[in-house]
Amino acid sequence: MRDARTQKPLAYASVFFANSTYGTTTDSTGHFVLDGIPDAQYELVASYVGYQLYKKQLEVSAAATLTILLQPSPTQLDEVVVRPRKNRPSDYQKFLVQFLGNSALSRQCRIENPEDVVVVYDEGHRELTAVAPRNLRVLNQALGYRITYYNFDFKVFYRDNRCEFVGAPRFEELNSVDARQQQRWSESRRQAYAGSLPHFLRSVRENSLAENGFLVQRMVRELSSTEARQRLAQPNDSLAAVLEPEPGLLARVYSQPLQAAQVCRSEGNPARTRLLFANSLQVTYQREQPDDMYVAYVTETRSNNLKDALANRWLGGQTKTALGKALYEPVLEQSQLRLLGPDAIILPNGYLTNPLSVKVDGYWSFERIGEALPLDYTPAPLK
């Protein structure tokens, strides 16, 4: 690794594959070796104080030599970051909830360098922004990882119920001489993986949805209107449920389960399995109970929906009855999946070549950093 202008070797720089535990540092001559990496597509990242972050997509399939040239940063990152005031406690708390989450595993995470995070909440636009000019370090004591995010940029748009997150994370496994602690981490990782988006995508790729406990159903969304509500209130044996996932939006969930072949296309090459489906999917994981905090959130949402229905006289009695019944139905691990782009190709480990090609809601959006696992994690057989 060298300075792009002077060709001077850069010693003790950090080099890693993003979202993985594969990483190392350069030696005193700027050289590094990454070996034992399974064949797959990765994003190589190099970081050095005072230089711009280096990123490059690589297809790892054989031994290769790569020269990394880093461009000096226009702003020296080792200088003191001057800010007009400290983060407001209320703004910082909003950020923690949105970034770390509220699950049982998330509550065992903490940010190790909060002084390096700048958080601003725009009340008028209802937008939250958090950046870390150096990096952001998260200690996950539930799963046994330290995660360092480089080029961290996090935004929440409350009006659109949308979140944007940019960062190059490096996972490092924590060490413990306590065998029981190592066993707890192993079991928590298995628990976090079960029912997760990578678990689902891997099941799609391997055509084993039912075997792995997933129920997949077609979901059609439409704008809420009096006509739409009246139409949905009519008896329909093909429907499993009528939902209101967002204000002003209705969704029809169909009873017939979908098979893996109905939501993806292999294009004659299993290595190029691509998500492909119309509208949206509702995915239910049936082999574990959801987190208690999620149960409380869904129960409160159902109660508020019923109150709104009772306040609107134009709603049909059948719709009100259905909402009333839903209030007492068991809360399940149900997630919604939408395609945003054509490049949703599933890798063998269950990750996507382009994570931004899909949008998730429901339980998967509830699970945040507390359930984050590196892409090289290999789960033990799930019971």
Query: pLDDT digit string (tens) for 116-137?
Result: 999 999 999 999 999 998 899 9
Q: Is the C-alpha dihedral spanning 360, 156, 366, 239 positive or negative?
A: negative
What pLDDT score does 11 carry? 95
Residue 222 pLDDT grade (very low, low, confident, very high; cuts 50, 70, 90): confident
pLDDT of 170 above 70: yes
For 40-51, the pLDDT digits (tens) are 778 899 999 899
Average pLDDT, the chain: 85
Distance of CA 99 to the CA centre of its chain: 10
What pLDDT score does 78 carry? 43
CA distances from 74 to 53, 77, 79, 194, 286 (A): 12, 9, 12, 44, 51
Residue 163 pLDDT grade (very low, low, confident, very high; cuts 50, 70, 90): confident
What average pLDDT does this structure show over 27-39?
89
pLDDT of 144 above 90: yes
Residues forming beta bridges with residue 16, ordered by sequence position: 23, 45
pLDDT of 160 above 50: yes
CA distances from 322 to 36, 148, 212, 233, 256 (A): 55, 46, 30, 9, 20
For 231-245, the pLDDT digits (tens) are 656 666 677 776 666
- Cα separation, 204 vs 198, whole angstroms: 10
Residue 246 pLDDT grade (very low, low, confident, very high; cuts 50, 70, 90): low
Q: Are 45 and 54 in contact (CB under 8 A)?
A: yes
For 173-217, the pLDDT digits (tens) are 999 889 999 999 999 999 999 999 999 999 999 999 999 999 999
What average pLDDT does this structure show over 146-163?
91
Per-residue tokens: 283? 């995915």
Q: Are 200 and 362 in contact (CB under 8 A)?
A: no
**Predicted TM-score (pTM) of this structure:** 0.82
Residue 99 pLDDT grade (very low, low, confident, very high; cuts 50, 70, 90): very high
Residue 80 pLDDT grade (very low, low, confident, very high; cuts 50, 70, 90): very low
Of residues 334, 358, 371, 364, the one with CA closest to residue 263: 358
What pLDDT score does 77 carry? 43
Residue 367 pLDDT grade (very low, low, confident, very high; cuts 50, 70, 90): confident
Residue 74 pLDDT grade (very low, low, confident, very high; cuts 50, 70, 90): confident
Distance of CA 144 to the CA centre of its chain: 18
Of residues 250, 197, 200, 188, the one with CA closest to residue 220: 250
- Higher-pLDDT residue of 358 and 319 is 358
Of residues 158, 160, 95, the one with CA closest to residue 123: 158
pLDDT over 70, % of the chain: 83
pLDDT of 230 above 80: no
Report the amino acid identity of residue 305.
Answer: N
pLDDT over 90, % of the chain: 53
Q: Is the C-alpha dihedral spanning 117, 104, 101, 357 positive or negative?
A: positive
What average pLDDT does this structure show over 68-88?
69
